[in-house]
Structure 1
Amino acid sequence: MVEPIGVLGTGSYLPTRVVENAEVAVPAGVDAEWIERKTGIRSRRRAAPEQATSDLAARAADAALEAAGIEAADLSYLVVATSTPDQPQPATGCLVQHLIGARNAAAFDLNAVCSGFLFGLATAGRLLGGDGGGYGLVVGADIYSRILDPTDRRTAVLFGDGAGAVVLGPVPAGHGMLAVRMRSDGGSRGLIEVPGGGSRMPPSPAMLDAGAQYFRMIGREVKDYVSTHVPPLLREVMGASELAAEEVDHFVPHQANGLMLADLAGRAGLSEAIRTSVWDYGNTGAASVPITLDDTVRGAGVAPGETVLLAAFGGGMSMAAAMLRWSASARARRAA
């Protein structure tokens, strides 16, 4: 019998530097009012020059472990979801493992872009359930400020840096992950991409001159894709959990764009349950779902037995959704 696995603690870390709309507006050729009107974003955070993705991830991981009351040495698995790793090799997960002292954990990276945290949650949950217990740590962390073209108004105004994490472990029957669904669509990969820097277009002066090292996104087509494909996925997960939309207590989606989220929640009948952080932190990539979840637990609070629907979408194109029933032991903490 597979043991139910759920969230035992959440944590997050936001860099201290706050970047208001006025700072990113000028290079992008827009004004601060335009950014807020188009995206709902008022500010975002920026990593310090000396900080890498592993540094943010380790801070969030430590906070989640403290909230869960679990020692890093007790972890069996450590998954870091990121599309902005410290370096191509080794895995950022191994760097985080060393930083937090998770000496017994198998550590690895997972890249499903902004859906990465939920892909990691599903992966770690299945590993723990199949092994009959133990503890896992899933971290979503990204520093998108390092791969943005500051003159591209479609992307430069949206993204912030940050990390969020959850500790997973055994929970009482009827709690934890009730249903998880994941989808990938490689045929739509061109909607969101960083074309240069890999084996197809290795680093070179010509690549840099072309700006191929920068993140690119076709915003309007991404919005149409999300509007078409994500609501059915949410309905599928709710159906698999035998829950109606009005029975979802907290809807925590990927924080892509405030206007897009309002539209998505309306289409799925989840407007009353939606939880957001995009206004203050922007789009933090794979970190946005766990950061917002931690914000929710620390803020409005999630009571034992309440339902939490997590959802994400991003490059690939990739999509994922997970329904959780909250356990009494799950707590939250933000790293200072």
Structure 2
Amino acid sequence: MSGVEIIGLGHYAPERIVPNAEIEARFGLEAGWIKRRTGIDARRYAADDQALSDLAVRAGDMAIAQAGLSRDNIGLLLLATSTPDHLLPPTAPLVAHRLGLANAGGIDMAGACAGFIYALTLADSYVRSHRAPVLVVAANILSRRINPVERASSVLFADAAGAVLLAPSEREDSGIRGAHLTAQGAHYGLITIPAGGSRKPFSKVDDASETLMIMSDGQAVYAKAVAMMTGAAEIALRKAGIVAADVAHFIPHQANARMTGTVALQIGVKPESLRTTVAEFGNSSAATIPLTLSISAHEHVYRQGDIILMTAAGAGLTGGAVVFRW
């Protein structure tokens, strides 16, 4: 058996910054309302001429360049997204083509906010089994799925991309040491886009708002997401034989600052291990963890042997956690 290492990190956030004041004015909220409840100061929105693939390519290219790896050696691209360029075909083959990955397979993974955790887990296994590097990109353009009259989603969601490049390692203890994936379909309808799928195709849509996101019960989403993220992280740590105090870097899904703080407290990680980007970049669903992983590397160097704990939960409900040894 061999290990797996991250040899490249990448991220991209669109240039347009949307401050809280812009959203607070739209909803008639007092200044500071969003910051007090979410910890978010601003978020990024994609330009009108940008599609999901444009963001994904920028993050993926940064990860590959950082690694200095020949693009011909990459065996697989996993793209975690809920907002592909088109419903058909999948976007990953286009991203792979634009990145020059001539020998790589490519597939989209629609795991909502937990999409990166799922993709990372599968990528680690692929690297171990096939001895080939895997590029994982998580990206979303959620600004085009926000219902402008729904406050709950308008204050949170954003656009961004993050990427990690995994490769075989001679260190057997590197890579994922423990993982737990979970799903609770009983809560399927808490976060949803009602129309556009096979249940209600576009041909039967009378109101365009049915193709936008609905969060029916924000308090229920918060409570269940906290429980799912905490529970998955505890199981992953137990599988890895590692205690919370050993975690050097804790990178939860950046849903909002209150949630990340609560999950960190319940798991029992050291407060100084928490890495967060939600204040400046908001919630870009699956992209938040690799985005934070990449941005945080500039301030908090990842050293060989460091334990990184990542956990997420989102629509579906889907969730999971990964314990990664750097």
TM over 0.5: yes
Find the aligned partners of 1:228 and 1:123 in 2 and give their Cα distance: 23
Shift of 1:28: 3.1
Partner residue in 2 for 1:233 = 232
Whichever residue aligns with residue 79 of structure 1, its letter is: L
Find the aligned partners of 2:231 and 2:24 in 1 and give their Cα distance: 35
Find the aligned partners of 2:298 and 2:201 in 1 and give their Cα distance: 43
Find the aligned partners of 1:124 and 1:12 in 2 and give their Cα distance: 18
Find the aligned partners of 1:5 and 1:300 in 2 and give their Cα distance: 21
Whichever residue aligns with residue 219 of structure 1, its letter is: G
- Superposed CA deviations along residues 76-118 of structure 1, whole A, max 9, x for unmatched, are 0001000001010111101101111111100000011010011
Find the aligned partners of 1:120 and 1:310 in 2 and give their Cα distance: 13
Unmatched tracts of structure 1, length 5 or more: 327-336
Partner residue in 2 for 1:68 = 67
Find the aligned partners of 1:31 and 1:159 in 2 and give their Cα distance: 19
Whichever residue aligns with residue 41 of structure 1, its letter is: I
Find the aligned partners of 2:205 and 2:25 in 1 and give their Cα distance: 27
Find the aligned partners of 2:179 and 2:202 in 1 and give their Cα distance: 37
Partner residue in 2 for 1:272 = 272
Find the aligned partners of 1:50 and 1:272 in 2 and give their Cα distance: 39
Find the aligned partners of 2:31 and 2:264 in 1 and give their Cα distance: 26
Shift of 1:166: 0.3
Find the aligned partners of 1:223 and 1:279 in 2 and give their Cα distance: 18
Partner residue in 1 for 2:281 = 281
Whichever residue aligns with residue 285 of structure 1, its letter is: S
Partner residue in 2 for 1:163 = 161
Find the aligned partners of 1:323 and 1:224 in 2 and give their Cα distance: 23
TM-score under structure 1 normalisation? 0.93
Shift of 1:204: 4.1
TM-score under structure 2 normalisation? 0.96
Report whether the alignment pairs 1:315 with 2:315.
yes
Q: Report if aligned partners of 1:28, 1:157 keep a CA contact under 8 Å in 2.
A: no
Q: Report if aligned partners of 1:6, 1:324 keep a CA contact under 8 Å in 2.
A: no
Q: Report if aligned partners of 1:6, 1:177 keep a CA contact under 8 Å in 2.
A: no
Report whether the alignment pairs 1:214 with 2:212.
yes
Partner residue in 1 for 2:24 = 25
Find the aligned partners of 2:61 and 2:226 in 1 and give their Cα distance: 36
Find the aligned partners of 1:259 and 1:233 in 2 and give their Cα distance: 18
Whichever residue aligns with residue 144 of structure 2, its letter is: R
1:285-296 correspondence to structure 2 within 5 Å:
285-296=285-296
Report whether the alignment pairs 1:10 with 2:9.
yes
Of residues 238-247 and 277-286 in structure 1, the stretch that sits farther from structure 2 once superposed is: 238-247
SS of equivalent to 1:227:
helix
Shift of 1:13: 0.5
Partner residue in 2 for 1:257 = 256
SS of equivalent to 1:256:
coil
SS of equivalent to 1:95:
helix
1:110-121 correspondence to structure 2 within 5 Å:
110-121=109-120
Partner residue in 2 for 1:329 = none
Shift of 1:67: 1.1
Partner residue in 2 for 1:57 = 56
Shift of 1:299: 1.9
Shift of 1:20: 0.4
Moved over 4 A (4+): none
Report whether the alignment pairs 1:248 with 2:254.
no
SS of equivalent to 1:286:
helix
Identity of aligned residues (%): 37
SS of equivalent to 1:299:
coil
Q: Report if aligned partners of 1:56, 1:141 keep a CA contact under 8 Å in 2.
A: yes
Find the aligned partners of 2:180 and 2:206 in 1 and give their Cα distance: 37
Q: Report if aligned partners of 2:228, 2:313 keep a CA contact under 8 Å in 1.
A: no
- Superposed CA deviations along residues 119-177 of structure 1, whole A, max 9, x for unmatched, are 1111121122112x111000000000011012211000101101000001112121111
Of residues 239-248 and 224-233 in structure 1, the stretch that sits farther from structure 2 once superposed is: 224-233
Unmatched tracts of structure 2, length 5 or more: none
> What is the aligned residue count?
323
Whichever residue aligns with residue 202 of structure 1, its letter is: P
Q: Report if aligned partners of 1:155, 1:215 keep a CA contact under 8 Å in 2.
A: yes
Report whether the alignment pairs 1:125 with 2:117.
no
1:24-103 correspondence to structure 2 within 5 Å:
24-103=23-102
Find the aligned partners of 1:189 and 1:266 in 2 and give their Cα distance: 27
Q: Report if aligned partners of 1:28, 1:152 keep a CA contact under 8 Å in 2.
A: no
Find the aligned partners of 1:268 and 1:207 in 2 and give their Cα distance: 45
Whichever residue aligns with residue 134 of structure 2, its letter is: G
Find the aligned partners of 1:103 and 1:32 in 2 and give their Cα distance: 50
Find the aligned partners of 1:31 and 1:203 in 2 and give their Cα distance: 37
Find the aligned partners of 1:21 and 1:205 in 2 and give their Cα distance: 35
Over 3 Å counting, the alpha-carbon distance change for 1:25 and 1:205 in structure 2 is farther
SS of equivalent to 1:190:
coil
Find the aligned partners of 2:93 and 2:31 in 1 and give their Cα distance: 39
